[in-house]
Structure 1
Amino acid sequence: MALSGLLLSFSSATVAQSGKVIKIADLEVQVAGSKQPATQLQYAFQAGDVLVLDLENKAKVNYKVTVQEYFSNSPLYSIEETKKLNNLRLTVPQKSVYTIILQSLSDISTKSHFTLTRIPKSEATQNFNTLVAWRTIQDTTWTTAIEKVLVKNDLKSETVVDKTFRLASVTNLTSNNRSTERFKLPANTKHWVYWVGVGQESVEALQETGKTLAKGAAALLTGGNPLVAFGLGLLPQLPQVKSSGYISYHLFNKNNAYLFKEDQDGWKPYAVASGKDVLSDYGKVLISQTPKTDDGYLYLGFQNPSTITGLDLTLKVVAFVDNPVYQTRTVRKPAKITTRREPILAAD
């Protein structure tokens, strides 16, 4: 039966090639059946090389044979049906990787003997490496999306306690010289600050400090509140004034706050937020330093040691919580990532 085929580049045996003949392959090949992926062999060649292909079909079934340039899939040779290749000579038009595709027209794979010989065009390309190295490449398809992006994380102040109350003297028969104030810190608190002052003089001194914040960025950030400014690090310290009286204070949980207020033995304060015989005092407590309590509340307890004089006491507590700031942006995101192999041509 006559063989039909397409021969795009044919080199006659009479064309002179000055390079020495090199056998590239001498293989027993299992050629895939018609229902299987085709058998493929890849080699690199220089422009002007002459290839000599032989294929001995041991099963005597028909094969489809194609030789094509790898990157463009342009055929150098193709035949739909043949039982063998005998001294098939092809001239390589350009330096590249070429794929030899073998497919049995039978349903099952069959064995064949395959040889491939290279005749370089000149001695200059005699040592060209025909082995193909491969690299893995990821092709990314991108898309855009609108999403909220965190641009910074500010601190926001929240007033927890701001009140004035009276502590009676020790000898007062109708009122207590001890008092506790319960408070709960908001979620996401990073740290909190407090200020306690005896008498109107302490309050006025604190207010005078606030006037120094009345202009500029500090005023915008703090609202002129000196305790907020202290909590944000804009003021290194707060005023402490002389007064006619003094108090002691401690931080408790619920049970110890009760024992303290009732002047019962056994109360134990926490180590933070504590002062003895102060006229005014303040402090900053990190959330990592803040005790965890069963009911989630903290209790500041105050004591007036004077046997004669009752005292007006002002307490301020401000918490600083995370305040994330977001912006809406168009962002570029990978929609699909495809991995493929690509041959690497050896240098000349």
Structure 2
Amino acid sequence: MNRILLICLLFSGFCFAQKATVADLEIKLEPGATEELMYGFAAGDRVIFNITPNGAPVSEITVMQYPDVVKYRGQEIKKEEKNEFTVTDKSVFVFKFTNKAKGKRSCKVMLQRVAKNADTKNFNTAVKWATVQDTVYNALTKDVVAGYDTLRVQKTRRVIASEKKYEELVLDKSQRVNAKTSLGDTKAAVAFTLPVNSTSKDETKKVVAWAYWVGVGEESNEFWKQNRKLIVEGVKGVATYFTSPLGGVAAGALTSLALPVNGEDVQYALVNEFNSTLFFKDKAYKAYDDGKGIAAYKRFTDATLLQGKFYMVLANDNYIQPLDVNVKVSAIIEHIKYKDEKYMDTTITPRYEKKIVREPQIVTTKIPVTFDYK
């Protein structure tokens, strides 16, 4: 049994020590040309490298363990050479052939490997390219924050000194509108212009809302007096910047006013100058507001209707009775005054100094690896 075991071990060792051909080829080099071969080897491999020049010598042959460990270098190789070396770690070997002569050169190359054991007997010597990333650190001189300086400076800014709202009476006019049997015109118009907005360095004034009242005869005047009484008794203390029922409507403090139900009515329309002309020509016109009644009112806050000239046009369809129509307009003015105010402004400024710092940088490269690389 011992002799049989010994024979098996010897036979096994013989099998592992068998040479496997990696490359058997002829290298042809043009003048000034370089050719490279790459093969992978397993740890423990014994590499046998045979070179046979064809006639003229080969300028230089180098064998390197990638990337830069030189295993062999020969120059002006004139005759056959045989080299052996053992691979310490699994790696890629580069076989570099250089022709520095003016003429063509060629040589035969025989490359063999002897595996260390059965595990690496069938090792694949093919090489592939792999993309790898590595972190390198660059030393740079940079300005870095060493601290902060605080600076306090007195400055001046524009602030509101006072802000108030008040009612401004724009129009209070009684307009006679003739009956159809009279010799006069049965149409009339009352024109008014809203207060002009103004802006200066120290103050601004602008119309923020306005309202109109249209009332016919003594009936509407009586109800106006009742509404004024409501201002004195019911709204006192709620808002002090309006003084009339119409001002209360314009300010939004009053949502409704008392209106008469008995009396003569009038057709009315709030228009611009162009539509006022159409109204008197009995042509179709556009109105901001219109209606027919003994009394009516309306509030406006639309920014496009807070400036300019308007017309309250009136028409009487009564055959006998002329109408005395009272038209009132009140606007709410916002008055703001400004002043200069001094204050301390704090500015924090970073302070820098130069330092050498190491900054990481990801470098992507392609390297030759053995075929089993993952």
Query: Is 1:274 equivalent to 2:290 in the alignment?
Result: yes
Alpha-carbon contact 2:167-2:241 (below 8 Å) kept: no
TM-score scaled to structure 1, two decimals?
A: 0.51
- Superposed, 1:97-108 pairs within 5 Å as none
Q: Please tell me whether the aligned partners of residues 145 and 352 of structure 2 are also in contact (alpha carbons under 8 angstroms).
A: yes
Give the alignment of 1:1-348 within 5 angstroms: 134-135=144-145, 139-145=149-155, 148-150=158-160, 154-173=164-183, 175-186=184-195, 187=197, 188-214=206-232, 216-218=236-238, 220-223=240-243, 225-261=244-280, 264-270=281-287, 272-275=288-291, 277-288=292-303, 290=305, 296-326=308-338, 329-334=341-346, 338-341=349-352
2:210, 2:306 within 8 Å by CA — same for their partners in 1?
no
Cα displacement (A) at 1:244: 2.2
- Percent same amino acid among aligned pairs? 26
Distance 2:319 2:165 in 1: 43
Provide structure 1 residue ranges, at least 5 long, that are not aligned to the other structure.
1-130
Indicate how the Cα distance of structure 1 residues 211 and 218 shifts in structure 2: closer, same or farther if over 3 A, else same.
farther
Cα distance in 2 between the residues matched to 1:156 and 1:282: 19
- 2:19 aligned partner: none
Instruction: Output the amino acid matched with 1:176.
Output: D
| Structure ranking higher in strand proportion | 2
Q: In structure 2, how many angstroms separate the alpha carbons of the residues matched to 1:140 and 1:159?
A: 55
1:212 aligned counterpart, secondary structure: helix
**Residues 286 and 135 of structure 1: is their aligned pair in 2 closer, same or farther, counting only changes over 3 Å?**
same
Name the SS for the 1:221 alignment partner. Answer: coil
* Structure 2: distance between partners of 1:330 and 1:297: 42
Secondary structure at 2:194's aligned position in 1? coil
Whichever of the two has the greater Rg, that structure is 2
Structure 2 distance, partners of 1:257, 1:148, is: 44
- Native 8 Å contact 2:239 2:253 kept in 1: no
Question: Structure 2: how far apart are the matches of 1:157 and 1:137?
Answer: 58
Q: Tell me, yes or no, if the aligned pair for 2:272 and 2:310 is still in contact at 8 Å.
A: yes
Cα displacement (A) at 1:285? 1.5
Asked if 2 retains the 8 angstrom alpha-carbon contact of 1:192 and 1:287, the reply is: no
Mapped partners of 1:268, 1:139: distance in 2:
70
User: 1:257, 1:267 within 8 Å by CA — same for their partners in 2?
Assistant: no
SS at match of 2:240: helix
Q: Which runs of 5+ in 2 are unaligned?
A: 1-140, 198-205, 356-374
Aligned AA (1:341):
Y
Checking the alignment, whether the CA contact within 8 Å between 2:268 and 2:315 is kept in structure 1 is yes
Counting matched residue pairs gives: 208
